[in-house]
Structure 1
Amino acid sequence: MSLWNPNADHPLHVRIEDASGDPEADLGAGIELLGAVRNGEAPATLRIYRPGPTLAFGQRDVRLEGYALAVARSLEHGFAPVVRKAGGRAAAYHRGTVIVDHVEPAAEAMMGHQHRFKALGALYADALRRGGIDARVGEISGEYCAGEFSVHGMPGTAARTRNAVKLVGTAQRVVSGAWLFSSVFVIEDSAPIRALLDDVYRAMGIPMDPATVGAADDLLPGYTTEAFIDDLLAEYALHVELAGA
């Protein structure tokens, strides 16, 4: 029985990967995994990787007048522009971030849609708190790719910022028989992400406060992606049997 799916009794297989060098292929691999789980060709899986520099636009961004300029700005910053199938607005990530694709089979996948946002958002905040970060669930004013169940961090005495900063963005894709819960955790080196998102959101005419763009190590200097992955798996292990971790 898991926090996000009380009816599940299967283990969650952990798969830690290296980025392929092709940001679009890395993004598409999550959708391919969703299909494989739906068809019974793969087990419930927690796929974890650190991506190359990528700017993932949402479907709505593509229709904006400033989209072409935003793509150009992304390339100028050295981030590969891609369009994701899940919802939301543009989000940026690089090797200092961690992507987590949580995929599980479900007979009635849509029924648990809202519950998964709440349960997994809480789990992710707990994982960051395990590492010593004051993480909380909820949107902060002016954040990029705003979401009710995104996770933000509050500054403490050792923080390099005085602002609450967004740390985790989440999105879901649901198909008949399975669901994909995909999350971006910004752990290290927020400066290039902040500069890029400021330019891109200005190009698209979307209000965004760059002060809300941050990383876990802005709040806890020295915190690393490796430490975060350990904390994340430890938190998951409280709620589900992990295989292959």
Structure 2
Amino acid sequence: METLVVRGRKETPNADRAATKTLLTHTTETGQPTVRVWTPHRQIAFGRRDTRADGFDRAVSIATEYGFPAIERSVGGRAVAYTGSVLAFASTIPIDDIRQGMDERYETATMQLLTALSDVGATVERGEPADSYCPGEHSIQGSDTGKIVGIAQRITGGAALVSGCVTVTDRDATELASVLAPVYAAIDVPFDRASVGSVEAAGGAAAVEAVQRTIEQTLISGPTAVVDCNSIELDL
């Protein structure tokens, strides 16, 4: 079966998030895998634990002051920021048993991202520095630099969504560190500004579109059908 490759983004952050959620539903219902690599709108996406913190309202105010609209997501870890040029990737995969395959999917995604970033010239490895943003077990960092990629996974009855974010440029890394430092302080989560890395800092390409294309090609296996998310209704 062809992999459905979705490009572009919707007009608003909420509509854009709904588009990716719809792809997960599509794979659940049809068994067709999908791949999406794009630049989400400027925003900070807060996780469920963040919204329960005593300083959450203050964190939202800080994000707004820095020009980052606040979004709440029902799953995932701690707050993640997007500048408008930070990349996101999402791959939906049909599954038969929700109890099996999680570790293998994480391993596959990690290897794919390591390969893609190496292909654009970055020197990268598994892991993340201490006190990173949205800390997790499945991350990629530059050798002797900061965290570049975070990977997460969501599972439904018939499909898995493997997704994450990639900081490409030093400029984006600096902006992320600047806003996340006070935001994380407000919700009382340890954070080190120096933990934010980039593909560029790891010696790789600073061209967002080039990194985007390389990641997309690495995530795809076999024939594809390419669509623009704004040219079709994603309730396929």
TM-score, normalisation: structure 2:
0.88
| 2: CA distance, partners of 1:29 / 1:101 | 11
Q: Please tell me the residue identity of whatever aligns with 2:194.
A: A
Structure 1 residue aligned with 2:188? 205
Q: How does 1:154-169 map to 2 (within 5 A)?
A: 154-155=143-144, 164-169=145-150
Structure 2 residue aligned with 1:7? none
Q: CA deviation at 1:222?
A: 5.2
Deviations 1:27-75 (A, max 9, x none): 22211221122122x7210012111111011111111001111111111
TM-score, normalisation: structure 1:
0.85
- Deviates further, 166-175 or 31-40: 31-40
Structure 2 residue aligned with 1:82? 71
User: Is structure 2 residue 151 aligned with structure 1 residue 170?
Assistant: yes
Deviations 1:132-166 (A, max 9, x none): 111111232121111111111125xxxxxxxx211
List runs of 5+ in structure 2 lacking aligned partners. 227-236
Contact 2:35 2:219 in 1 (8 A): no
- Deviates further, 47-56 or 220-229: 220-229
Between the two proteins, the alignment pairs up a number of residues equal to: 224
Aligned identity (percent) is 29
| 2: CA distance, partners of 1:130 / 1:222 | 9
Higher relative CO (CA 8 A, sep ≥ 6), structure 1 or 2?
Answer: 2
- Deviates further, 95-104 or 174-183: 95-104
Deviations 1:187-228 (A, max 9, x none): 122221110111100111101111011221233375211111
Q: CA deviation at 1:116?
A: 1.1
User: Is structure 2 residue 210 aligned with structure 1 residue 233?
Assistant: no
Q: CA deviation at 1:242?
A: 4.2
Contact 1:110 1:174 in 2 (8 A): no
For the residue of structure 1 that corresponds to 2:194, the secondary structure is: helix
Structure 1 residue aligned with 2:233? none
Distance verdict in 2 for CA 1:48–1:233, change over 3 Å: closer
